[in-house]
Amino acid sequence: MSAELTIAIAQTNPTVGDIEGNLERIRSFRARAAAAGADLVVFSELVVVGYPPEDLVLKAALQEAVRRAVEALAADTGDGGPAVILGAPWLERGELYNAMLLLQGGRVVTARYKHDLPNYGVFDEKRVFAQGAVPGPIAFPFAGARGSEQIRIGGMVCEDMWTEDVAEALEESGAEILIVPNGSPFEHDKQDVRLNLAVARVTETGLPLIYCNQVGGQDELVFDGASFVLNANRRLAAQASAFEEQLLITRWRRDANGVWTCTEGEFAPPLTGLEAIYRAMCLGLRDYVEKNRFPSVVLGLSGGIDSALSAAVAVDALGPERVHAVMMPSRYTSTASAEDAQAVADALGIRLDAVPIEPAVEGFAGMLEPLFRGLAPDITEENIQARIRGVILMAISNKLGPMVLTTGNKSEMSVGYATLYGDMCGGYSVLKDVYKTMVFALARWRNQHRPADARGPAGRVIPERVLTKPPSAELRPDQTDQDSLPPYEQLDAILQGLIEDDLSARELVAQGHDPAVVRKVSNLLDLAEYKRRQAPPGVKITHKAFGRDRRYPITNAFRKVGLSTAPAAADHRPNAAGQEPGDRLAGKC
């Protein structure tokens, strides 16, 4: 009779630093796994402390608290229930490791340490962890169909799966199943990358593979879960839901040739495209607000597409009762914008207040008149309007408690089309890594679909006029974004080439882009770095989000775009007013 084994995959949402809360969640999932008859329950990378812990993990008090928590949890496994594989920071002989631990029979049976420490993009694990040796298999005894059975588990912690070395060593030393605890952040096309890498490891080793990924938001990062199982024939045998906690029960059988096969497991359809991006934005905002214990959010609702989509995401993430919108009209605000803001608020079912800014604008003009006498109005007066709106929103936050949600998108942040301490003022941004063209696509998608876990209404939530009218900051008469910027389709294509694809200006021109436009956009991208450093965190969507993914110096004399023999610095000198070209772009509210 063949051996049988039940493995539960626990796709959980831990909170960084909340060891007690994370342990309570682990115990709850283990109890559910026991009720399903599991022999083993697998948790994600560093689940005890949450991922990524960054420099928090270097605190001796946290390391001690983790060990106490793990040992207490290990004692629970003496109850005859399922064994546990989980991730934790583990101090051993003075070295701190990113560890995969087996808890069974009331004790910590064994530990395996992450070998391949990622040190790129959002990852800097070499900063905090020691490198583990290439791991060998873990012997796991269990009660199989023939009585006492044993399986040799090949543990690969996250990045260990991304190259062939660890998998090859495990296969050569007798592993029978590969288990991969993960903390793999969402990117819009990453699930296919993960699956392809897993298929490569299965192909190389001839072994089945269990991939357990974390779910939830942690600052800029969103973890999408979507844990899965591949059989040795490279076929997908089970798939967990994306963006949701789940206990995935899988049943296994070993045949006469010693090959383990997953014979039973749930299969959730994968999420891709706009739906995946929208769900990531909602989960990122929800967890940032709730894990940091904000009661609600407040945002400026201008009647434009960015604030409308931001409001829709906020309502879907938190519910309409926790979203407060404020319209802050000036003399330049059109009647259509006021009507559109009200229509968005009505469609979403949120509170909308109006706080006109004209009295403050006039007050500032009077205060500054002695200093500015004789100087023509310019970008200064436009930015004052944006900054007044920032002050209003922060005052509401201080007095009533909601976090200010900023509404700028990646196209604007790329070229500095934003005002420091104005529309950039706030605690979090759901559009920070979303280009303007994608903003329109997401808004249209949301009008046609209501996400499964949305707390907002079904149906159209963004009026058609908001989608079709020319975007405008409305900081001067008859202003549109295209007064200062190329058309967004052209701008976004150039920005994606410069940022995501690391293309040179010459390569972009070879693709057919206008050299003068490429030069302008490249210059603005460099100049706006000082603004981006002061921007709030926001949901990571692409593989080159501003911040931890793309790290450029603010002080930077090397800005050659490669399209002219003239000195590149000439394009970046301050003008007579002491302003850099990037400052000539007014921010939006």
Measured between alpha carbons, how far is residue 339 from residues 233, 298, 303 in Å? 59, 19, 7
Instruction: Work out the burial of residue 444: count CB atoms within 10 Å of its CB; fewer than 13 is exposed, 13-18 middle, 19 or more buried.
Output: middle
Q: What is the architecture of the domain spanning 275-575?
A: 3-Layer(aba) Sandwich (3.40)
Which residues make Cβ contacts (< 8 Å) with residue 178, sequence separation at least 6?
154, 156, 161, 167, 170, 201, 202, 205, 207, 208, 209, 210
| pLDDT score recorded for residue 560 | 62
- Report which of 41, 39, 103 is spatially closest to residue 71, judged by C-alpha positions: 103
578 pLDDT above the threshold of 50: no
Helical axes 358-372 vs 379-400, angle rounded to 10°: 130
In contact, 132 and 97? CB cutoff 8 Å = yes
Going by the DSSP 8-state scheme, the letter that residue 91 receives in this structure is E
What residues does CATH 3.60.110.10 cover in the chain? 3-269
β-strands 40-42, 83-92: how paired? parallel
Which CATH superfamily does the domain covering 3-269 fall into?
A: Carbon-nitrogen hydrolase (3.60.110.10)
Residues 186-243 pLDDT 10s: 998 888 899 999 999 999 999 999 999 999 999 999 999 999 999 999 999 999 999 9
Which residues make Cβ contacts (< 8 Å) with residue 251, sequence separation at least 6?
4, 5, 6, 262, 263, 264, 265
Place of tokens 């709030």: 536
β-strand partners of 111 = 101
148 pLDDT above the threshold of 80: no
| pLDDT score recorded for residue 87 | 96
Measured between alpha carbons, how far is residue 344 from residues 95, 334, 373, 434, 445 in Å? 55, 16, 41, 20, 16
Residues 2-53 pLDDT 10s: 788 999 999 999 999 999 999 999 999 999 999 999 999 999 999 999 999 9
91 pLDDT above the threshold of 60: yes
Residue 428 Rama label (left phi>0; alpha psi -120 to 50; beta): beta
pTM, two decimal places = 0.91
β-strand partners of 537 = none
d(CA 575, CA 581): 8
Residues carrying an active site annotation:
45, 114, 158
What residues does CATH 3.40.50.620 cover in the chain? 275-575
| pLDDT score recorded for residue 281 | 97
The tokens for 364 are 């500032």
pLDDT tier at 467 (50, 70, 90 boundaries)?
A: very high
